[in-house]
Chains A and B, each alone.
Chain A
Amino acid sequence: MLKSTVYLGGLVLVGLIWASEACTSGNAAATSDGELPDVVSYNFDIRPILSDKCLVCHGPDANKREAGLRLDDPKSAFATLKEHPTAHALVAGKPELSEAFLRITSKDTSQMMPPPASNLKLSDREIRLIEKWIRQGARYEKHWAFVAPKKPSIPKVEKEEWVKNEIDYFILKKQEEKGLSPNEEADRERLLKRLSLDLTGLPPNLKMMERFLADNRPDAYERAVDELFKNPAYGEKMALHWLDLGRYADSHGYQDDGYRTQWPWRDWVIHAFNKNMHYDDFVTWQLAGDLLPNHTKEQLLATGFNRNHKITEEGGVIPEEYRVSYVTDRNDTFGKGLLGITLECAHCHDHKYDPFSQKEYYQLFAFFNNVSEVGIESVIGGPETYAKKPLMEISDDDVKNLLTFVNKQDTARLIVSVMGDLDTLRKTYILKRGVYDAHGDEVEPGTPAAILPFNPSYPKNRLGLTQWLFDRKNPLTARVYVNILWQEFFGRGIVKTSGDFGMQGELPTHPELLDWLAVDFMEHDWDIQRLVKKMVTSATYRQSAVVTSAKLKADPDNILLARGPRYRVHAEIVRDLVLSSSGLLNRTIGGPSVKPYQPAGLWEGATSGRGLLSTYNQDHGSKLYRRGMYTLIKRTVPPPSLAIFDASNRDLCEVKRLRTNTPLQALVMMNDPTVLEASRVLAARLLEEKTSEKDKISKAFRLIVCRKPTEKELEVLTGYFEQERKTLKRPAAEKTLAVGEYPIPAGVDRVRLAALMRVVTTIYNLEETITKT
């Protein structure tokens, strides 16, 4: 019984914390459940309640609207009620006359709102907030995310000496309001590891660590940032989030899941980040490169973005049904990835929470509906099926001259699916209930008016759509991308729901900071690297990640950032870190994806038996040691060791990965041949050096954890080494070493090697190793 009490207590605690977070995201940590703000804000306090509990029936969806009442629209909310011409849902200043208030406080189940059958219920606090809001005049505001950001002034702070750039003023201001103060800067070793993992996805090497530790110039840190920007691994690391967003994969998906050669597009993304292509061009090329006047082959290749979606090769499908699904995928990717809105909710009906009509969905759809494609072009087959029309061919000459960044490794024909429109416009209709052949009214290309009406001077095609997207008045584009990058570096977006800036999304924790960064980003021509630099050179980013129990209690989720970000790295980076620190990493950039070690039978067990990817033919030699991002992604059976660490399966646009902590991850780190082989190779290298065992272990630790071990840590590890060396028998040592294809140097003491290998594996398994700390 005692246990169940503890358990219930925990539950209630979580409930309260969550509830308060959801209601007061704007001033997250401290508001107690009872206190109401002095001025109740529609956007921050009331709209989340209405959106979550009321708008399903009293919101934008005309077909589901009850009693003709819209609570998201003041015109309707203040008007006389259809069914009670003497009453009004809201009467400013007078909750006791407001029918809406009377209903939410009614005890009569026939009157009560939300109705009991809805399974929705307002909390006492929510009811009191609504009451106070009505008393204060029931003032509506436009949803914050649909109002173009203005650059706010930099707030004044007390502890100005801590500040390094504008970001810090906004962050510190909030902390000071809540009585928190920031951490000191992290120690240099950990700071460099964090920075290097964030900018390149690779741990710093020993030389760089030494250099940074010895660099006493005041701008040593900025220099390190610039040095990492120059590393081509920067483009690879930055590409990762974009490959998720652009749902890049190496197979067509659907049932046969055949191979595709879309990787030159991936090579281009890496290239674009390394060239620091600005965000407006970067996206414009991808959405409309084929429509640019006198477009180049590179611009055409960029449009592969909109052909990364799954494409069926299942004989017997209805082609139009699938063609429509491809257009839908493009449209939804545009909504989620670039606008941060859940556009797909308006696919079958008007959006239930956000002001997007079904008609507007199909108006946007119209931009992507003119591609000269078919629902099914071919069933699974040979190289001619590796891309689908419209496609481009990349010749050896192209690679020599124009597309030098495409890592084409043989002379075979290379084709990539790209965009290309029909000469005559395909008509677009509203699809009733989203059904592919249930044509409703015909629509013209257009954009959701609540975001920004489509300027009639723009061409009504994808090129015009990019002009709309990068119109300075567009309230979403800059905010959404700034937020995605913030999430990448700080672990959590300023808007936590990075794919939903709509009314059901979370409110920004630092709205002014988000706006400042968004406007600053636009003012500097959408310069991505400049924005990244701003983030990683802030004092906020550079803080130590140490958390005291008081801070943990005050701000468990680190919303106020009074300590540095501390997160497990992405799946691909786990692999990169292991390969890089062991010296095994193959630094080739781009090219066809590779097939490293993988448990046997996974593809074979799930395949239809057709096509190149029906059996897993593992690669050998240096291809075993490529970065995680080059592991071949077969959509229906994604690479297991990456999937276990929450990599995207690339089925659909994804802007935020889960970050789980599971026993399977422990099993991967303990037993995956990749980790074991890297341990063996690193151990063998260390044994070849004429150093003491203690030094070898210390060096392994530095290479892997990116800092010098403490004496205590070294003691544990050397103790473990001695123990293993004493107890390991030769046959067991031989078996231990027999992992991976990389050769074992001749003449090495096998027992010693196996013992040291186990020590290295243990270091790989440290929590700190795969955590940016």
Chain B
Amino acid sequence: MAAHTPPPYKGGGRGVVLTMMEKEILEHGYNFNRRRFLSRLSLGLGSAALGSLLIPDLFKGGGSEDEAFTPGIPHFAPKAKRVIYLFQNGAPSQQELFDYKPKLRELLGKELPPSVRGNQRLTGMTANQSSFPLVGSFVDFKQYGQSGAWVSDLMPYTSKIVDDLCIIRSMYTEAINHDPALTFLQTGSQQGNRPSMGAWLSYGLGNENKNLPNFTVLLSRGIGNGQGVYSKLWSNGFLDSVHQGVQFSKGEDPVLYLRDPEGMDRHERRAMLDNLAKLNEMAYEEFGDPEIMAKVKQYEMAYRMQTAVPEVLDLSKEPDDVVKLYGPDCLVPGTYAANCLLARKLSENGVRFVQLYHQGWDQHGNLPFEIAKQAKDVDQASAALVTDLKQRGLLDETLVIWGGEFGRTSYTQGKLTKDNYGRDHHPRCFTIWMAGGGIKPGIVYGETDELGYNIARNPVHVHDFQATVLHQLGLNHEQLTFKHLGRRYRLTDVSGKVVRDILA
């Protein structure tokens, strides 16, 4: 793609190009004209926005008149079709994982120079601390791969795939507490009540799969100090609820209320629905309200979902080599490893945005012990996911992202002892990695100063990161807007530029 003013993308095979304005009108059409708009079949919230079910793929074509659709509006040819976001919730310490700072070890216990800290605002947890002694990583780093990227010994599996990764060490954010920082990264605003990244992509790109939700959420938790997650992080905000993230949970009901009650088999459900449809049609004859028939279709969609979702979530048929790749935990529902494997399956089946959250990365104290556990939880499966996608030829069209909501301080929080310390929140720099999806593999981008406190080169703001993700999916972040209460909103709010240096 040309770097500037890309020509409009002709939308795959169907020759459908929607301008932003048309798309916006259509979206309003969902809300404004739904009563005339028989085919508006959205899905709900909090639990499952399976809007996708009836929605023919814009790229693949298909669908029929009686099916609803959410057409996409790629602004130019996308590099990636889908995203898997491995969110490390709580903010993993970059110093112990990817941002190698030998100087910090040398300076162990020395005060952080005030000139480095500048007018940095601190959280209430360390603002009153009388000193800020520096502390280096308790764990060693080595260089790996062609790229020679430094990775700590806590990440033995990830270190083997560094040539597939683009490691960004120069991310920075504006928030210093978990809730606003998470919300900022996911929705572009610290306050929430805006659509999250997955919702924007669902809105912008439409669906690939008729039987699965476009945006799914999978949760897991490590033993480290944890922070909650909030449903606003996968909210559709002011977009139609068709774009809401659907939380898939472990257990018998992966989507809320999906399972038929005990004692009822599929034939009996079918019989119930057939009778229900007869009755609803009688009401339609009397009232002529298209909503009635829309309701009938929703029941049909629910019925299809009841089969489709458990099928894709069934891991029992995964071959041994796959199980080996992800590690034995992948067969334990609700673990990060199981969620990574599920993410691959969902993504492979066309789910546009799979969002994982792994909790437990908030190491204010007891860092060496906790972070080792956390890293062990996620290292093998994260690497396996990238490898698995690559082996299946899917990595090129799938963008995988790994990272937290901010970084951690290079000085210790609380008492520094020989083998124990903690680190406070640090918005000024943190590390994430991306793989696939048209991102340059095998590079390390950006640099922090020798104390790992400030960014020395190529800073990447959260909005830059978001703009880049959208760009890889064929969307211009300044054009992907939605008008709500008098203002056109976008994921990147009022700033952000695509980080072109990392594009393949």
Contact = CB atoms under 8 A, between A and B. Distances in A.
Contacts of B39: 10
A602 B250 CA distance: 10
Interface in A87-113: none
Interface string A622-657: 000000000000011110110111100101100000
Interface string B215-252: 00001010000111111100000001110000001110
Nearest to A555: B36
Interface in A486-544: 497, 499-500, 502-505
B294 interface: yes
B301 interface: yes
A428 interface: no
Contact of A257 (B31, B228, B283): B228
Contacts of A736: 261-264
Contact of B125 (A4, A315, A737): A315
B457 interface: no
B261 A566 contact: no
Nearest to B16: A4
A541 B158 CA distance: 65
A556 interface: yes
Contact of A14 (B29, B262, B479): B29
B288 to A, nearest CB: 5
Nearest to A599: B256
A518 B32 CA distance: 25
B26 interface: yes
Nearest to A731: B263
Contact of B20 (A119, A568, A761): A119
A237 interface: no
A766 B47 contact: no
B115 interface: no
A674 to B, nearest CB: 10
B289 A547 contact: yes
8 contacts: A121-B21, A255-B230, A316-B177, A319-B124, A546-B287, A664-B47, A664-B48, A671-B257
Contacts of B40: 661
A479 to B, nearest CB: 17
Interface of A: 3-4, 6-8, 10-11, 14-15, 17-19, 21, 51, 119, 121, 254-257, 312, 314-319, 342, 345, 352-354, 376, 497, 499-500, 502-505, 545-549, 552, 556-558, 566, 568, 599-602, 605-609, 635-638, 640-641, 643-646, 649, 651-652, 658, 660-668, 670-672, 676, 710, 712-713, 716-717, 719-720, 723-724, 727, 731-739, 754, 758, 761-762, 765-768, 771, 773
B46 interface: yes
B292 interface: yes
Interface stretch (B80-88, B269-277, B340-348, B391-399): B269-277
- What are the 6 tightest A-B residue pairs by CB atom distance, in nearest-first order? A504-B486, A556-B36, A735-B263, A736-B263, A664-B44, A316-B125
B274 to A, nearest CB: 9
Contacts of B32: 18, 21, 557
A767 B25 contact: no
A739 B481 CA distance: 46
Contacts of B272: 670, 720, 758, 761-762, 765
A644 B263 contact: no
B2 interface: no
Contacts of A318: 121, 123-124, 127, 176
Given A606-B231, A665-B298, A643 B288 contact: no
B289 A545 contact: yes
B155 interface: no
Nearest to B241: A660
A476 B415 CA distance: 57
A556 B35 contact: yes
B227 A255 contact: yes
A557 B295 CA distance: 17
Interface stretch (B63-71, B320-328, B467-475): B63-71
B232 to A, nearest CB: 7
Interface string B101-128: 0000000000000000000010111110
B201 to A, nearest CB: 19
A644 B124 contact: no
A668 B257 contact: yes
Given A545-B287, A606-B231, 14 more contacts: A3-B65, A14-B25, A255-B177, A316-B177, A317-B124, A546-B286, A658-B241, A662-B298, A664-B50, A666-B301, A667-B48, A733-B263, A737-B263, A767-B280
B461 interface: no
Contacts of B63: 3, 7
A767 B240 contact: no
A317 B123 contact: yes
Contacts of B153: none
Interface of B: 14-16, 18, 20-22, 25-26, 28-29, 31-37, 39-51, 53, 61-65, 69, 71, 121, 123-127, 176-179, 192-193, 219, 221, 226-232, 240-242, 249-251, 253, 255-265, 268-269, 271-272, 275-276, 278-280, 282-283, 286-292, 294-296, 298-299, 301-302, 305-306, 424-425, 478-479, 481, 485-487
A4 B478 contact: no
B123 A606 contact: no
B59 to A, nearest CB: 12
Contact of A670 (B221, B228, B257, B486): B257
A646 B127 CA distance: 41
B288 A17 contact: no
Contacts of A658: 31, 240-241
Given A662-B43, A767-B283, A608 B228 contact: yes
B228 A732 contact: no
Contacts of B37: 14
A719 B274 CA distance: 12
Contacts of A566: 287, 289, 291
Contact of A651 (B41, B193, B261, B294): B193
Nearest to A557: B35
A698 B298 CA distance: 26
Contact of B124 (A315, A503, A646, A666): A315
Contacts of B16: 4, 7-8
Contacts of A599: 249, 253, 256-257
A500 B485 contact: yes
A422 B61 CA distance: 64
Contact of B46 (A640, A672, A754): A640
Contacts of A668: 256-257
Among B32, B44, B276, B478, max chain A CB count under 10 A is at B44
Given A4-B14, A18-B25, A599-B257, A548 B262 contact: no
Contacts of B125: 315-316
A7 B15 CA distance: 12
A554 B459 CA distance: 56
Contacts of A767: 280, 283, 291-292, 295-296
Contacts of A710: 282
A502 B255 CA distance: 40
B35 A558 contact: yes
Contacts of B231: 606, 636-638, 643, 649
Given A119-B20, A255-B227, A557-B36, A765 B193 contact: no
Contacts of B69: 7
A10 B64 CA distance: 13
Nearest to B15: A4
Q: Which of A8, A601, A663, A667 has the most CB of B within 10 A?
A: A663
